[in-house]
Chain A
């Protein structure tokens, strides 16, 4: 049996950037890719479940992404995951909608019948906050979103979900289940140099939508019309000077506004 962790190599955009010629994304030369922060917590959660003895299963990473996504998979393998699967073919759009990503991940999951699927609660770049729950819906598995704590037994999993303002909800779910993990659920480990080296040798398989029997074009995905730099809401008045001078100005503003 398998614990599947769905991850994303998220795009981080440089401070200075330009848009791509087609107006549908940031130009690729201004973009770096890295393992999504939320997903590193999901990988860590899987590793801890195994280390605690709650689950003794293979931990498999899966992502949908082009070749540049492999570094993020290697980062997860270096943390301790056993192997990875990447789904791609060049007909897929660079910016994938949440349904398409979830549908492809679900197809990979369906082939493995995992006992648990973990995802980050959202991605840092597109931030739909939707992939994990949509993936669960495609698989018809119970799910919990924005999980801050979890404990696992063979037939049920207990989770604490984070609602707003620090309010928490405790839930019991039948397994197998899909959980989306919030930051702060654990402290993701740093990979050692040795582990990073070992990760280079771990199995990383490539598959494509056709092999999975998924036609992305059939999904009712919203269509990207354009991207643009949003209007700035009005620049701040910048306070200059030494820290003490800045402090004096801030004190003035605070006192004035509080008295108003």
Chain B
């Protein structure tokens, strides 16, 4: 019998969506009969434990962390939990926290490491883990080595969280000794300007394909004309054209508008991860091979700015 641990994805005293998804992947790795534990490393973990209503979780292990949870705390807590439960797999939701902790945990435990996993198939001789290569052009299946645990991180939206159930009584574990090599200095909230693109019903998004910075005004004009919010892919945020609060994708926001209208966005996997739950995706891009056309409902191979001008005219009457 096998056991697996999911490490809770938390922020600001709340469980994030990645927690249920990591649990679902941990269940697949543990097998239907395997035992499943949820590890919560956070300041004041008791409240999070009470909210962790997931079916199939046998144990909830909690570790009290400092105000800014440090990767070193997560690694130490996960390593001791993995040893205590003889876990065959420790699963994280892929993202900046997991990128800081999972590789160090794998080295600490002498474990295998497979990150950004999109599917897990149970096989006779062991699980096959699927991940993307070359920006999603090909997928790769990997087999885990026998006799060692595996540290796995899973891509957002790839696994369906378990149903609801009353959480088991949490079991507090000893907090690891603080590591003097690290000091948390504080969080900086994004400059949002009171924008929350995750709540918008219509997002009009711009990417590198819009060309010059001045063309951004044209995309903003379309957003304004149709009553939508402006969003952007990472390169425009990196260039400082658009604030980070409007960034869609793995390192930005996951959005679920009714309509996502993308101008000049090629559709890197990191971006597409953020629009998985969008209703209708419309993409305008001059490159007919742009990956976004593979996930869009409507596509147009055209100059993004010319179409945006056209849209403003249509709407302007």
Number of interface residues of A (CB under 8 A): 86
**Which residues of A, 204-227, contact B by the 8 Å Cβ criterion?**
220-227
Residues of A within 8 A of B302 (CB): 243, 246
Residues of A within 8 A of B136 (CB): 230
**Which residues of A, 51-89, contact B by the 8 Å Cβ criterion?**
none
Residues of B within 8 A of A170 (CB): 184-188
| Residue of A whose beta carbon sits closest to that of B301 | A238
Given contacts A127-B116, A172-B182, A253-B298, contact A145 B202 (CB under 8 A): no
Tell whether, in the assembled complex, residue B300 and residue A134 are in contact, meaning their CB atoms are under 8 Å apart: no
16 residue pairs A–B, Cβ–Cβ below 8 Å: A99-B112, A121-B99, A130-B106, A166-B191, A168-B187, A222-B150, A223-B144, A230-B136, A230-B139, A240-B300, A243-B309, A247-B307, A247-B311, A247-B313, A249-B300, A250-B261
B residues adjacent to A (C-beta < 8 A): 11, 68, 70-72, 94-97, 99-104, 106-108, 110-116, 128-129, 132-145, 148, 150, 179-192, 201-202, 226, 234-235, 237-239, 243-245, 247, 251-253, 258-259, 261, 269, 279-284, 289, 293-303, 306-311, 313-315
CB of A258 closer than 8 Å to a CB of B: yes
For A233, give its contact among B144, B148, B247, B295 (CB under 8 Å): B295
Q: A98-B113, A225-B140, A247-B311 are in contact. List 11 more A-B contacts (CB 8 A).
A: A13-B138, A131-B103, A166-B191, A168-B187, A172-B185, A174-B182, A184-B239, A220-B110, A233-B295, A250-B311, A254-B282
Given contacts A164-B252, A174-B180, A250-B307, contact A134 B128 (CB under 8 A): no
Report the Cα distance A249→B297, complex, angstroms.
13
Residues of A within 8 A of B284 (CB): 246, 250
Report the Cα distance A146→B143, complex, angstroms.
28
Tell whether, in the assembled complex, residue B97 and residue A163 are in contact, meaning their CB atoms are under 8 Å apart: yes
Q: A-B pairs with the 9 shortest C-beta distances?
A: A247-B310, A166-B190, A166-B244, A184-B238, A137-B107, A236-B299, A243-B306, A134-B103, A142-B181
Tell whether, in the assembled complex, residue A222 and residue B187 are in contact, meaning their CB atoms are under 8 Å apart: no
Dominant secondary structure of chain A at its interface with chain B? mixed
Shortest C-beta distance, B230 to chain A (Å), equals 14
Tell whether, in the assembled complex, residue A239 and residue B138 are in contact, meaning their CB atoms are under 8 Å apart: no
Shortest C-beta distance, B171 to chain A (Å), equals 27
Tell whether, in the assembled complex, residue B259 and residue A145 are in contact, meaning their CB atoms are under 8 Å apart: no
| Residue of B whose beta carbon sits closest to that of A244 | B310
**Which residues of A, 147-183, contact B by the 8 Å Cβ criterion?**
158, 160-174, 177, 180, 182-183
Report the Cα distance A143→B184, complex, angstroms.
13
A residues adjacent to B (C-beta < 8 A): 11-13, 15, 17, 19, 26, 95, 97-99, 102, 121-122, 124-134, 136-138, 142-146, 158, 160-174, 177, 180, 182-184, 220-230, 232-233, 235-240, 243-244, 246-251, 253-254, 257-258, 260
Tell whether, in the assembled complex, residue A133 and residue B133 are in contact, meaning their CB atoms are under 8 Å apart: no
Tell whether, in the assembled complex, residue B303 and residue A243 are in contact, meaning their CB atoms are under 8 Å apart: yes
Residues of A within 8 A of B258 (CB): 257-258, 260
Shortest C-beta distance, B166 to chain A (Å), equals 29
Residues of B within 8 A of A12 (CB): 134
Tell whether, in the assembled complex, residue B252 and residue A165 are in contact, meaning their CB atoms are under 8 Å apart: yes
Shortest C-beta distance, B53 to chain A (Å), equals 23
Report the Cα distance A164→B314, complex, angstroms.
36
Tell whether, in the assembled complex, residue A130 and residue B102 are in contact, meaning their CB atoms are under 8 Å apart: yes
Shortest C-beta distance, A11 to chain B (Å), equals 7
Tell whether, in the assembled complex, residue B138 and residue A227 are in contact, meaning their CB atoms are under 8 Å apart: yes
Tell whether, in the assembled complex, residue A228 and residue B115 are in contact, meaning their CB atoms are under 8 Å apart: no
Residues of A within 8 A of B128 (CB): 225
Given contacts A137-B108, A163-B97, A220-B112, contact A232 B133 (CB under 8 A): no
